[in-house]
Structure 1
Amino acid sequence: MKLPARLFALVACLVLAAGCANVPEESQPVAVPQQELGQQVNPDVPQPAKDLDALTVVRDFVRASAQPISNNAAARMYLDDAAAKAWTPGKLITIIDDVFATVPATGQDTTANPNEVNVVLRGTGLGTLREDGGFISLRAPVELKLLVRRQSDGQWRITNPPPNLVMPNSDFNANYVRVQAFFFAQDSNTVVPDLRYVAGKPQSGLAGRVVGLLLSGPSSSLVGAVRNLLPEDATTEGNVTTAADGALVVALTGVADQTADVRRLIAAQIVLSLQSVTTNRVRLLSDGAPLVDGHEEWVPSDLPSYTALASPSADQPGLVTVNGRVRSLGDGSLISGPAGQGSGYQVASAAQSIDGRQLAVVEYADERQRLRVGQFGKDAPAVDLAGATMTRPTWRPTATADGSGEVWTVVDGQTVVRALRISDGSWVPQVVNADEILQVGPISVLRLSRDGARAAVVAGGQLLVASVVRAQDSVTLRAPRILQGGTLGGVIDVDWLSQDTLVAATTMPSQPVVKISIDGLRLDPFNISNLTLPVHAITAAPGRSIVVADDGGLWTASDIGEVWRPHPHSFGGNASPFYPG
């Protein structure tokens, strides 16, 4: 299946004629002023300012389109009566850059009627918000043609609104709230966040909209990669409301036949998903009784950790490959075993399991590279897998007692392979279906998320995120999305800072290190002070400092804006650091 070349299209309405009155020559690109997230919207929906020219009417209409209250009432104010009554915008939303232009149409698109003007909006699309609230990153030109007509009262109004909403990014951020809807990994009770966006107004219905996301299941990009413990026929009895005592009441029905353990997991899904929109206690009911016997009200601190399998423990300081050996990032010493000591392996790259007990090594052997997997500090048996090149290994955890998980790598940039441990203790390679990603380009980096539900991939110098979908006898990297395509290029390494955030190293002098959300909507460059470009490796993990490697050695920072500090141990310019995972 080929990746779609475009994820959205705007329908142009062409009206022939020439000339118009009271219309400026053009509206030059203007940056929309930033607004605070959650800014209050006037519920009375004020009329547009009087005597706006046609270009400004289109500009203000696009900005007002970000206000979803009362069936987009604010945007309808910029339409003529017939269009305002008939307009039923679709569920897709195109988000454009804050800098966009509105100009009069030229050539055959002009009109001779002095009371009409075709206005062309030109901007850069950042991506689309789908009906399920998930964002798809796609940077592409957007052009929208709207016919604006002078009304009997002298005011200009739009007659042909677009079939889908279009809005600038800052207005989108001011009116929509990003939330994490939590689901569970396929084979463990590790929670997986699903980034979604819901209308922020009215505030009273915000929690209900989040619960609605859970009831409708994961976004399309995560289907097959996670589990939803809420049954398909589960729903709420009435609205999610706030009781007189301040508790947020979520009254469910359709979950009564679930086991006690499943009900606890459902409670975790709901409470964790609501924590970004409320600090209230959450009262969870099932057909009028407590969802979990003896535990009616919940706050996030009532829950056990559902990310323990996806987070390296504090006693795992991380490792670094340098000069064919593996050393500790903690004290700089060579690790025990042939990966670190004596005349052992000539290590090209390595990866430590999340629990720290195992090590996967790609070594140089007979002018090729091959994979070894074994216990940390001991001899690692060779896997029946070799190639001219192999990407740095990456671990997928499991909830099994031995914690062995899977080791993934990419052979010769074309074949994604997972090595599985079988009953005799050996590791057997199996090919992963990565056809959709390979259409973008050869794969140079692959990093599994520590919850196992996603993969961050560098293909053809671009950064992608795909979901890991597992069937009974196969695994597929599905629904890959290029993040910030056209803006972020020359990507040479990537790692997971958290379950929903990546850090990447690039060859771009202006942004050699960036932080980016997994949906690609937000990208933040790090400070470049003290770095010697290019940066050639990066590692990150929850609660850890980010470590990058340049020709001078290793540097650390905790967040964007910080000046990079020298790592306590100098390993030289060919070091490649990595945290467990």
Structure 2
Amino acid sequence: MIRRRYRAVLAAFAAALTMAGCAAVPTETQPKAVPQERVAPQTQEIPEPASGLDPLSVVREFVRASVQPTNDHAASRAYLSQAGRKNWQPDQTVTVIHDEFGTVYAPDEEQPQNETERLVTLRGAQVGRLSQDSSFIPSDEPVSEPVRVKLQRDGQWRIVDPPDSIMITETDFGEAYFRVPVYFFGPDSTALVPDLRYVVARPQSGLPARVVDLLLAGPSNALTGAVRNPLDSAALESNVTGTNDGALVVPLSGVAEQSQQDKKLMAAQMVRSLQHVTTSRIRLLADGTALVPGQSEWRPSDLPAYEAVSSPNSELPGLMTVGGLVRSLGSGAPIDGPVGAGAVDVRSAAQAINGQQLAIVENTRDGVRLRVGDYGTAGQVVDYPAKNMTRPTWLPPTTNGGKSGELWTVVDGEHVVRVQRAPNGQWIPQRVNASELTAVGAITGLRLSRDGTRVAMIVGGQLVVASVVRAPDGTSVSLRAPRILKGDQLDSVVDVDWISQDTLIVASSSERIPVARVPVDGLRLDQFNSSNLTPPMRAITAAPGRPIVVADASGLWTANDVGAGWRPHPQTLPAAEPFYPG
């Protein structure tokens, strides 16, 4: 019941956002969401389909031809009638379906009376769709698409009523499209934020231009309002080109009035986004001169460590709660101060990303309460009585070395609450607008990404991500573009954490998938080796460059990657719940 209601809510939300012989076609093309390149492309021959295909095979091969998305999917158009090839105008999305799909004849009562026509039903299940902004949106909705096929004068069956959207199998999508993160910035910090997109993979020589087009088009719909884009006013003055000396030239315009600092941030966006598609030096120009005065060419190694503000300090080993105390994951000993000495009955806790602060959910006679303060202290009691609270999660500080001014929790399964530090030092709670989620089911877990732009939640046992959108004046916050990730496989999630800014690690009570890794767009799921684990899982923690630590029915276990065996954690204790800073 919860899942059906959840699908209905998210589907409505997504709908609001998504508004003979051989044919000669160009070799260079873009997905619909990316502007066409500015150089006249060369052409190659696309062969006609094999002779004698029956209607079912024609529809199947039409789908399989989507692996060649050149020239507005000319390979798929080859399976259409001559009129269809000219008139077909698919919408600007690509529907990704499971590899196992079927083509069957529609019932006799639905078949055309004309014997030269057949109605074929394309059956399968969605993995998701590639939206107009080239981002992937997950879905597990069924596919049942009627396709009318007609016998042509040359004796070949061809499609005369094709689907409105391009359809491609999951495996073929992985071959035809290349995943690339394009980068923006957190709204109040210099943390670079990846925004996953997919571009046509071939020819490889066109990848840099396609990535630049995506970056200049701005953030995806899901991240609009959640990130800052210094390149917002920028445009290309001419083509992105390679030079004889091995550099890639990106000639920008429209940035003359920007500050020196913003131009450095623009350089970081460009260089980080392009590092996935080229090893060339990036020559960044603005109106014909160096974008950043004094440095025209860039490599990733030339950039400051923008990730530092969103990554835990390597000297912080992590903590765990067990028996009402907070202990070190490194030594197993209780931490210094009242929360390690038993003066506070700790249910759960969270350490700020730089280690300087600690938030505690404390058991009380009537339920729980939140304490927030410096590490090693009991913290200030926050005035927000509750029966239950999820483990807190910290927003990163705006600068390296600074203290965080905000943390989040979920109260009684329905109220997402952010707690802010006021100028007088008091911690003040305020509700977050999460109406699209709280109306559906109980929220039993919540983790802010360590750059503060996204949130991962457990709602009704399912994994959900949403973007964090703040009002310009900072007075309110909303959760936007909620999406269920792998809802057909993950329905008993108990804990979640961010192993990177665009990847989640999930613990489940299911014996089938106890631990999994899922990208933030939900395109795939990688299951961890379950050897040595004793279901059910109780908690999990992860962070960049850190081993994953999971709590099962027997204690703590650690692993570094998918496929690796789980090893006993050196500080394992029964009922311990581990957590890294963040």
- TM-score, with normalisation over the residues of structure 2? 0.92
* Residue matched to 2:539: 537
Question: Is residue 101 from structure 1 mapped to residue 102 from structure 2 by the alignment?
Answer: yes
- How many Å separate the matches in 2 of 1:221 and 1:440? 20
- The AA in structure 1 aligned to 2:429 is P
**In the TM superposition, what is the alpha-carbon distance from 1:552 to its structure 2 partner?**
0.7
1:498-509 aligned at under 5 Å gives the runs 498-509=500-511
* Residue matched to 2:10: 3
- How many Å separate the matches in 1 of 2:294 and 2:13? 51
Report Cα offsets for 1:429-464 as digits up to 9, x if no partner: 111111111133111000000000000000111110
Question: Is residue 134 from structure 1 mapped to residue 141 from structure 2 by the alignment?
Answer: no
- How many Å separate the matches in 2 of 1:348 and 1:452? 24
Indicate the SS of the match to 1:187.
coil
- How many Å separate the matches in 2 of 1:114 and 1:4? 39
- How many Å separate the matches in 2 of 1:363 and 1:221? 35
Work out which of the residue numbers 558, 565, 568 in structure 1 matches 2:567: 565
- How many Å separate the matches in 1 of 2:180 and 2:288? 27
**In the TM superposition, what is the alpha-carbon distance from 1:525 to its structure 2 partner?**
0.9
* Residue matched to 1:22: none
Contact 1:205/1:240, CA 8 A, preserved across alignment: no
Question: Is residue 264 from structure 1 mapped to residue 260 from structure 2 by the alignment?
Answer: no
Question: Is residue 391 from structure 1 mapped to residue 398 from structure 2 by the alignment?
Answer: no
- How many Å separate the matches in 1 of 2:136 and 2:439? 22
Indicate the SS of the match to 1:245.
coil
Indicate the SS of the match to 1:444.
strand
**In the TM superposition, what is the alpha-carbon distance from 1:200 to its structure 2 partner?**
1.3
Report Cα offsets for 1:487-534 as digits up to 9, x if no partner: 211111100010000011112211011100101111111111000000
Contact 2:123/2:145, CA 8 A, preserved across alignment: yes
1:300-339 aligned at under 5 Å gives the runs 300-339=300-339
* Residue matched to 2:354: 355
Indicate the SS of the match to 1:336.
coil
1:5-20 aligned at under 5 Å gives the runs none
- The AA in structure 2 aligned to 1:550 is D
**In the TM superposition, what is the alpha-carbon distance from 1:8 to its structure 2 partner?**
7.5
- The AA in structure 2 aligned to 1:431 is R
1:419-434 aligned at under 5 Å gives the runs 419-434=419-434
1:65-214 aligned at under 5 Å gives the runs 65-214=66-215
- The AA in structure 2 aligned to 1:336 is D
**In the TM superposition, what is the alpha-carbon distance from 1:486 to its structure 2 partner?**
2.4
* Residue matched to 1:12: none
* Residue matched to 1:241: 241
- How many Å separate the matches in 1 of 2:361 and 2:340? 13
- How many Å separate the matches in 1 of 2:533 and 2:488? 24
Indicate the SS of the match to 1:231.
helix
* Residue matched to 2:493: 491
**In the TM superposition, what is the alpha-carbon distance from 1:5 to its structure 2 partner?**
5.0
Indicate the SS of the match to 1:270.
helix
Question: Is residue 58 from structure 1 mapped to residue 82 from structure 2 by the alignment?
Answer: no
- The AA in structure 1 aligned to 2:174 is N
Work out the percentage of aligned pairs sharing the same amino acid: 55
Indicate the SS of the match to 2:232.
coil
- The AA in structure 1 aligned to 2:336 is S
Indicate the SS of the match to 2:230.
coil
* Residue matched to 2:32: none
- The AA in structure 2 aligned to 1:416 is V
**In the TM superposition, what is the alpha-carbon distance from 1:2 to its structure 2 partner?**
4.2
* Residue matched to 1:224: 225
Contact 1:417/1:432, CA 8 A, preserved across alignment: yes
Contact 1:370/1:386, CA 8 A, preserved across alignment: yes
Contact 1:8/1:94, CA 8 A, preserved across alignment: no
- How many Å separate the matches in 1 of 2:404 and 2:547? 26
Indicate the SS of the match to 1:367.
coil
- How many Å separate the matches in 2 of 1:160 and 1:444? 47
- How many Å separate the matches in 2 of 1:139 and 1:87? 26
**In the TM superposition, what is the alpha-carbon distance from 1:407 to its structure 2 partner?**
1.3
- How many Å separate the matches in 2 of 1:497 and 1:45? 43
- How many Å separate the matches in 2 of 1:295 and 1:108? 71
* Residue matched to 1:44: 45
- The AA in structure 2 aligned to 1:189 is T
Go from structure 1 to structure 2 and tell me whether the alpha carbon gap of 1:350 and 1:176 turns closer, same or farther (over 3 Å shift). Answer: same
Go from structure 1 to structure 2 and tell me whether the alpha carbon gap of 1:381 and 1:274 turns closer, same or farther (over 3 Å shift). Answer: same
Contact 1:137/1:482, CA 8 A, preserved across alignment: yes
Indicate the SS of the match to 1:44.
strand
Question: Is residue 379 from structure 1 mapped to residue 386 from structure 2 by the alignment?
Answer: no
Contact 2:14/2:481, CA 8 A, preserved across alignment: no
Indicate the SS of the match to 2:491.
coil
- How many Å separate the matches in 2 of 1:208 and 1:172? 20
Indicate the SS of the match to 1:173.
helix
**In the TM superposition, what is the alpha-carbon distance from 1:156 to its structure 2 partner?**
1.3
**In the TM superposition, what is the alpha-carbon distance from 1:6 to its structure 2 partner?**
8.6
- How many Å separate the matches in 1 of 2:373 and 2:478? 25
Contact 2:344/2:378, CA 8 A, preserved across alignment: no
Q: What residue ranges of structure 2 are gaps of 5+ in the alignment?
A: 1-7, 17-42
Report Cα offsets for 1:122-179 as digits up to 9, x if no partner: 0001111110011111101001111111222221111111111111111111111111
Superposition RMSD in Å: 1.6
Indicate the SS of the match to 2:266.
helix
Go from structure 1 to structure 2 and tell me whether the alpha carbon gap of 1:560 and 1:300 turns closer, same or farther (over 3 Å shift). Answer: same
Go from structure 1 to structure 2 and tell me whether the alpha carbon gap of 1:559 and 1:170 turns closer, same or farther (over 3 Å shift). Answer: same
